Amino acid sequence: MAKIGRFTPLVIPEAFIPPTPKDTPRSLFQASMEEEPKSLTSEWSPSTRRYIHRFSPNKFLVCTDGACPGNGAYDANAGCAFVFAPPSRWPYFNVVRFPLENSDLNNQMLKRTSNRAELRAAIHACRVSDWTHQGFDTMVIATDSEYVAKGATKWIREWIKNDWKRSPGNPVQNRDLWEWLLREVDRLAKMGMSVEFWRIPRELNEIADRHAKIAARERRG
């Protein structure tokens, strides 16, 4: 992961590049062995079920997604979700889902959007557990969102250089979440873990997508 400009020591994530264009999450990451869970935040051993890279056992996969029916409307509801483990005999112990907040980090009201939901899911995937204590040194975040995958690894470099302005000078949207993501990536880097983003086709992200939509509906309920 590269460092950039005046934001040092914040770390910019790298893109995950699969060995071949035909590779999929299923072809590259396999389900690890199973053991009795305690809680998501407990210090599990590496033998806890995860999606682990077939050739790099210290690298694991998390699939994230966000959904926002009525995208951009003030009364829209949005949900976020990520899948961190294969299905098991413990229902729903492989996925986290939650509704998107309707305010920024300064408690200013704002519109819920699919982009915020996608980004918020990635942030929570970084925060939810101490992954380094599970024996991993690289988290691969798979997302079908170009906004998240390219934003986190490519566009953000220019945004930072341009003082969070896009050409032709418009402010970057969701800056609060982008900076939060950078802080989480930096925190993990200091613990010895890299974060990489992998853009995958929507049809390969079906489980996270389904749970993000459920979270959005639960918000309405």
In whole angstroms, what is the distance from residue 94 CA to residue 81 CA? 11
Q: Which residues pair with 194 in a beta bridge?
A: 138
Q: What is the pLDDT of residues 157-178, one digit of tens each?
A: 999 999 999 877 899 999 999 9
CATH number (domain holding residue 144) = 3.30.420.10
Decide if 22 is inside a domain: no
User: What tokens does 163 get?
Assistant: 């003082």
What is the number of domains present in the chain?
1
Rounded to two decimals, what is the model's pTM?
Answer: 0.88
Q: For residues 168 and 199, which has the higher predicted lDDT (pLDDT)?
A: 199
Letter for the amino acid at 208? A
Q: Which residues pair with 103 in a beta bridge?
A: 109
In whole angstroms, what is the distance from residue 28 CA to residue 44 CA? 23
Instruction: Please give the distance of CA 203 from its chain centroid, rounded to a whole number.
Output: 17
Please state the rounded mean pLDDT for residues 130-156: 95
pLDDT of residue 4: 45
pLDDT of residue 44: 41
Decide if 38 is inside a domain: no
In whole angstroms, what is the distance from residue 50 CA to residue 62 CA? 9
Q: What is the pLDDT of residues 1-32, one digit of tens each?
A: 544 444 454 799 999 999 999 999 999 999 88
Name 148's Cβ contacts closer than 8 Å, sequence gap at least 6: 64, 115, 118, 119, 122, 141, 197
**Is 197 buried (19+), middle (13-18) or exposed (0-12) by CB count in 10 A?**
buried
In whole angstroms, what is the distance from residue 166 CA to residue 175 CA? 11
Identify the residue whose tokens are 């925190």.
187
Q: Tell me which residue range forms the domain holding 154.
A: 2-11+47-220
Q: What is the pLDDT of residues 45-69, one digit of tens each?
A: 434 689 999 999 999 999 999 999 9
Q: What is the pLDDT of residues 54-110, one digit of tens each?
A: 999 999 999 999 999 989 887 899 999 999 988 776 655 789 999 999 887 777 888
When pLDDT is cut at 50, 70 and 90, the band that residue 153 belongs to is very high
